[in-house]
Structure 1
Amino acid sequence: MALDSGASIVCPTLAVRSNVGVEVWSCENLSLQYAYKPNLPKEDSKNCRSISFSADGRYFAYSNGTEIKVLKTNDWGIECTLPRPKAFYLKFSPLGNYLATWELYTITKDKPEGSSNMFIYELSSGLEVFATVQKNPTDWEPSWSSDESLLAIVIGGEALFYEISGDITSFHRYTRKIGGNRGAVVSLSPGACPPYVAVYTPGSKGGPSMCKLYKYPSLSPNQAIACKSFFQADRVDLLWNKRGSGILLLTSTEVDKSGASYYGNQALHFMATKGDSCSVPLSKEGPVHCVKWSPKATEFVVVYGFMPSKAALYNLKCDVIFDFGEGPRNCAYFNSFGNLLALAGFGNLPGNVEIWDIKKKENVTNIKCPDTTYFEWNPNGMYFATATTAPRLRIGNGFKVYHYSGSLVHETIWPQGQELLGIEWQKYPENQFAEPVITKIKPEGIKSSLPEASKKAYTPPHLRMIKEGKDPEQFMPRSQVKVNSTQAGFPVGRKGGLKGNRIKNKKDVVLGNNAPPATSAEKDFKNESNLNDEHLNNQNRKFKAKQPLNKETDANSQEGQIQSAKKPNPEKEKKIRHVAKKLSDIKKLKLRQEQGETLELNQLNKISMEAKFLEELKILKLTA
Structure 2
Amino acid sequence: MIRIQTPPVSVPVRGSEGTALLCGPPQCEQHPAFQRDPRVSKTLTFSRDGTLFGWCNGQSVSVVRSSDGSVVSTFDLPKTTLLEFSPLGSILVTWQPYTKTQDSPQGEANLQLWDVQSGQLLKALYQKKVDSWCPSWSEDEKISVRSVNNELHFYENNDYNSIANKLHMQKVSDFALSPGGQPSKVAVYVPGSKGAPSFVRLYQYPVLGGPTAALANKSFFKADKVSLQWNRKASAVLVTASTEVDQTGASYYGEQTLHYLAVNGETAVVQLAKNGPIYDVAWSPSSTEFCVVYGFMPAKATVYNLKCDPVFDFGTGPRNAAYYSPQGHILVLAGFGNLQGQMEVWDMKKYKQVSKPQAPDATYFSWCPDGEHVVTATCSPRLRVSNGYKIWHYTGSVLHKWDAAAGSELWEVRWQPFPEGSFPERPIKYQAAPSGLGSTQAPPTQAYRPPALRHLPATASAKLHEEEPPQDLRRGPAGEKSLSKAALKNQRKREAKKAAKQEGKPEPEPEPEPVSTPVSNSQLETSSGDPETDKKIKNLKKKLKAIEELKEQQASGKVLQKNQLEKMQKEEQLLKELQQLQIGQ
Does the TM-score normalized on the shorter chain lie above 0.5? yes
Amino acid at match of 1:147: D
Amino acid at match of 1:410: H
Cα distance in 2 between the residues matched to 1:448 and 1:191? 41
Between stretches 264-273 and 92-101, larger displacement belongs to 92-101
| 1:119 and 2:112 matched | yes
SS in 1 for 2:112: strand
SS in 1 for 2:307: coil
| 1:156 and 2:149 matched | yes
Cross-structure match for 1:25: 22
| 1:439 and 2:432 matched | no
Cα distance in 2 between the residues matched to 1:381 and 1:297? 17
Amino acid at match of 2:375: A
Cross-structure match for 1:342: 332
Cross-structure match for 2:400: 410
| 1:92 and 2:111 matched | no
1:102-128 deviation line (CA, Å, top 9, x unaligned): 222223344444333322222122222
Cross-structure match for 2:5: 8
On the 8 A contact 1:8/1:434 being kept in 2, the answer is no
Amino acid at match of 2:434: E
On the 8 A contact 2:397/2:438 being kept in 1, the answer is no
On the 8 A contact 1:145/1:194 being kept in 2, the answer is no
Structure 1's 377 and 7: CA in aligned 2 closer, same or farther, altered over 3 A? Answer: farther
Q: 1:172 aligns with which of 140, 161, 175?
A: 161
Structure 1's 360 and 5: CA in aligned 2 closer, same or farther, altered over 3 A? Answer: farther
How far the C-alpha of 1:183 sits from its partner, in A, is 5.2
| 1:102 and 2:91 matched | no
1:565-617 deviation line (CA, Å, top 9, x unaligned): xxxxxxxxxxxxxxxxxxxxxxxxxxxxxxxxxxxxxxxxxxxxxxxxxxxxx
How far the C-alpha of 1:368 sits from its partner, in A, is 0.9
Question: Relative contact order (alpha carbons < 8 A, sep ≥ 6): 1 or 2 greater?
Answer: 1
Cα distance in 1 between the residues matched to 2:446 and 2:281? 34
On the 8 A contact 1:208/1:230 being kept in 2, the answer is yes
| 1:362 and 2:352 matched | yes
Amino acid at match of 1:244: A
1:539-568 deviation line (CA, Å, top 9, x unaligned): xxxxxxxxxxxxxxxxxxxxxxxxxxxxxx
On the 8 A contact 1:93/1:99 being kept in 2, the answer is yes
Q: 1:216 aligns with which of 188, 205, 218?
A: 205
Q: 2:76 aligns with which of 73, 83, 93?
A: 83
Structure 1's 255 and 103: CA in aligned 2 closer, same or farther, altered over 3 A? Answer: farther
How far the C-alpha of 1:297 sits from its partner, in A, is 1.1
Structure 2 unaligned residues grouped into runs of 5+: 456-585
1:509-563 deviation line (CA, Å, top 9, x unaligned): xxxxxxxxxxxxxxxxxxxxxxxxxxxxxxxxxxxxxxxxxxxxxxxxxxxxxxx
The 5-angstrom pairing of residues 180-329 of structure 1 reads: 180-182=169-171, 184-222=173-211, 223-329=213-319
Structure 1's 411 and 282: CA in aligned 2 closer, same or farther, altered over 3 A? Answer: same
Cα distance in 2 between the residues matched to 1:214 and 1:329? 35
SS in 1 for 2:83: strand
> C-alpha root-mean-square deviation of aligned residues, in Å?
2.6
Cross-structure match for 1:372: 362
Cα distance in 1 between the residues matched to 2:445 and 2:318? 17
Amino acid at match of 1:434: P
How far the C-alpha of 1:194 sits from its partner, in A, is 2.4
On the 8 A contact 1:98/1:120 being kept in 2, the answer is yes
Cα distance in 2 between the residues matched to 1:283 and 1:259? 20
Q: Between Structure 1 and Structure 2, how many residues are aligned?
A: 453
Structure 1 unaligned residues grouped into runs of 5+: 468-624
Higher helix fraction (1 or 2)? 1
How far the C-alpha of 1:37 sits from its partner, in A, is 4.2
On the 8 A contact 1:53/1:427 being kept in 2, the answer is yes
SS in 1 for 2:245: coil
Cα distance in 2 between the residues matched to 1:456 and 1:282? 27
Amino acid at match of 2:195: G
Cα distance in 2 between the residues matched to 1:457 and 1:226? 47
On the 8 A contact 1:101/1:118 being kept in 2, the answer is yes
Q: 2:37 aligns with which of 35, 43, 46?
A: 43
Cross-structure match for 2:475: none
- Stretches of 4+ moved more than 6 A in 1? 452-460
Question: Quick one: percent identity of the two aligned structures?
Answer: 42
On the 8 A contact 1:118/1:132 being kept in 2, the answer is yes
Cross-structure match for 2:53: 60
On the 8 A contact 2:357/2:439 being kept in 1, the answer is no
Amino acid at match of 1:134: Q
| 1:136 and 2:126 matched | no
Cα distance in 1 between the residues matched to 2:170 and 2:105? 24
Cα distance in 2 between the residues matched to 1:109 and 1:159? 31
Cα distance in 2 between the residues matched to 1:135 and 1:196? 26
How far the C-alpha of 1:455 sits from its partner, in A, is 9.1
1:418-471 deviation line (CA, Å, top 9, x unaligned): 111111111112222111111223221233699x999999999xx69x99xxxx
Cα distance in 1 between the residues matched to 2:173 and 2:276? 26
TM-score computed with the length of structure 1 as normaliser: 0.69
The 5-angstrom pairing of residues 517-596 of structure 1 reads: none
SS in 1 for 2:134: coil
Structure 1's 355 and 178: CA in aligned 2 closer, same or farther, altered over 3 A? Answer: same
How far the C-alpha of 1:135 sits from its partner, in A, is 3.0
How far the C-alpha of 1:288 sits from its partner, in A, is 0.9
Structure 1's 389 and 448: CA in aligned 2 closer, same or farther, altered over 3 A? Answer: farther
Cross-structure match for 2:460: none
